[in-house]
Chain A
Amino acid sequence: MTVEQASPEWLTPEVRDHLREVAYAYHVRVFGEEMARVNFLPRAQRKAYLHDMIDHARSKGVRFEKEALGVSR
């Protein structure tokens, strides 16, 4: 089951533009320019980039597995 939100009145095209600008600036600040660019790519390109990035890191010995603690954060 999914919940569909009706678009509220305040969500005008100008507000959408503003949100996008604020979001992009925030992504640059906290994730860095490269990941901000990736996050704003279309889904397929974003995923392809991340797959390559993770595969490359793993080929260099980076380990991503998290601990199995019996409870999740």
Chain B
Amino acid sequence: MPFGPTPRPAARVAHRRELNRMLRIGQEEMERFFEGLVASLQAKGVACAITSGMACVEFGVAPSTKDCDVLCAIDAADEVRRTLDATSLRGARCGYRSHLSAPLDPRWLGGGWTSHFAWRVGDEEAVLDVFGVAPRGSVRWDLEHKGLYASPHTVAEMKRTDRPKDWPFASALGVKLIEAGDPRGWLHIFDIDVLQALAGRIPVPTEIIAGRPVLGLLVAGDERLEKALEGEVKFWQRLDRVRMRIYHDAVRPYAAALNRDPQADAPELGVQHACRVRHAECLLAINPMRTYGLERLIAEAKEQAAALAPAGALAWLPDVRNNFTGLAE
């Protein structure tokens, strides 16, 4: 029984389990909560959109995901934070989720950092990540999102991560885009069978081939296509790996300072935030990517990919500088 007199020690585990079962937030409730949050931000005029896993579910390319990732306009960071502070879930208030989380402030949001939040209900957490720059985004996400969700093009670009498990979602979204008549879908398909099955029936525009040279091999029926695709994927994966490392290295002194500061875990979001800003201003580089240098990042990723991909596989790589708009210049 969940309520009543304090149970004897032997029954406490079962008691707690039953309480947790009752408190458990269903996925439907979780989604409604996040969609409501984004809708209320949009109603205030804040450009924001749900992306990643929840967006994939919306588009019919479903991963198992519970968390919510939201892109928001960089200059709206303060409004987003105020809204999070005022939004409760079953009475639970919002708080920062980690000492690695950058403050939700336009400066760091614009530098490619992510702010992590959670609402804790018993043993449950509703988890939200907020970022302003879509990783690898080549277009302004705020100009083409659909309702509450980022566009499939933006979501697919974000799926070019260092994790092999993300790539089938990119390819599946690429097919979705072509089904919708958007030729940019060709930029996202990394499966040779799918590419070849589509190429016989659907034209590949020349400007799309220019943006992704490997498609030239597809159109020409060149047998080096498979090798080139492998090289392309390895390159994107290493690009993401190096990018992540740049941010991991940059966050360490800041996270160490938060570990020593009890205000980092104060109950109030406002206090947590002020603490993070105070330490970030001293210890957290606003844009570590810019400091590191995009050309250096690309060169390093190429060097690492060359060691992993078949010989000659990197001869058809795309120019990825456009995928770091806002971070590199």
Cβ A22 vs Cβ B101 within 8 A: no
Cβ A65 vs Cβ B201 within 8 A: no
B 51-102 contacts with A by CB, 8 A: 52, 57-58, 60-62, 64-67, 69, 97-98, 100-102
Contact-residue bracket for chain A: 35 or more
CA gap between A8 and B183 in the complex, in Å: 10
CA gap between A65 and B178 in the complex, in Å: 32
Q: What B residues does A66 contact at CB under 8 A?
A: 67, 127
B226 within 8 A of A: no
Q: What A residues does B255 contact at CB under 8 A?
A: 70
CA gap between A48 and B100 in the complex, in Å: 34
Cβ B24 vs Cβ A59 within 8 A: yes
Cβ B179 vs Cβ A51 within 8 A: no
CA gap between A68 and B166 in the complex, in Å: 18
How many interface residues does B have (CB within 8 Å)?
A: 69
Cβ B62 vs Cβ A68 within 8 A: no
Cβ B162 vs Cβ A73 within 8 A: yes
Q: What B residues does A40 contact at CB under 8 A?
A: 60
Cβ B182 vs Cβ A5 within 8 A: yes
CA gap between A64 and B197 in the complex, in Å: 35
B 211-266 contacts with A by CB, 8 A: 240, 243-244, 247-248, 251, 255
Fill in one digit per residue for A31-73: 1 if any B CB lies within 8 Å of its CB, else 0. 1000100111001001110110111011100001110111111
B203 within 8 A of A: yes
Cβ A1 vs Cβ B142 within 8 A: yes
CA gap between A10 and B185 in the complex, in Å: 14
Residue of A nearest to B142 (CB): A1
Cβ B65 vs Cβ A26 within 8 A: no
Cβ B27 vs Cβ A54 within 8 A: yes
Q: What A residues does B194 contact at CB under 8 A?
A: 22, 26
B188 within 8 A of A: no
Q: What A residues does B203 contact at CB under 8 A?
A: 10
Residue of A nearest to B178 (CB): A19
The 5 A-B residue pairs with the shortest CB-CB distance, nearest first, are A68-B98, A68-B116, A71-B247, A64-B66, A30-B168
CB<8 Å pairs between A and B, sample of 15? A1-B145, A7-B181, A8-B183, A16-B179, A20-B179, A54-B64, A55-B27, A58-B24, A59-B21, A66-B127, A68-B100, A70-B98, A70-B113, A71-B113, A71-B251
19 other contacts beyond A51-B31, A53-B64, A70-B255, with CB at 8 A cut-off? A1-B142, A2-B147, A5-B182, A11-B181, A19-B198, A23-B175, A26-B168, A26-B194, A30-B191, A39-B172, A46-B57, A50-B62, A51-B28, A55-B26, A58-B24, A70-B98, A72-B69, A72-B135, A73-B135
- Residue numbers of A with Cβ under 8 A of B are 1-3, 5-8, 10-11, 15-16, 18-20, 22-23, 26-27, 29-31, 35, 38-40, 43, 46-48, 50-51, 53-55, 57-59, 64-66, 68-73
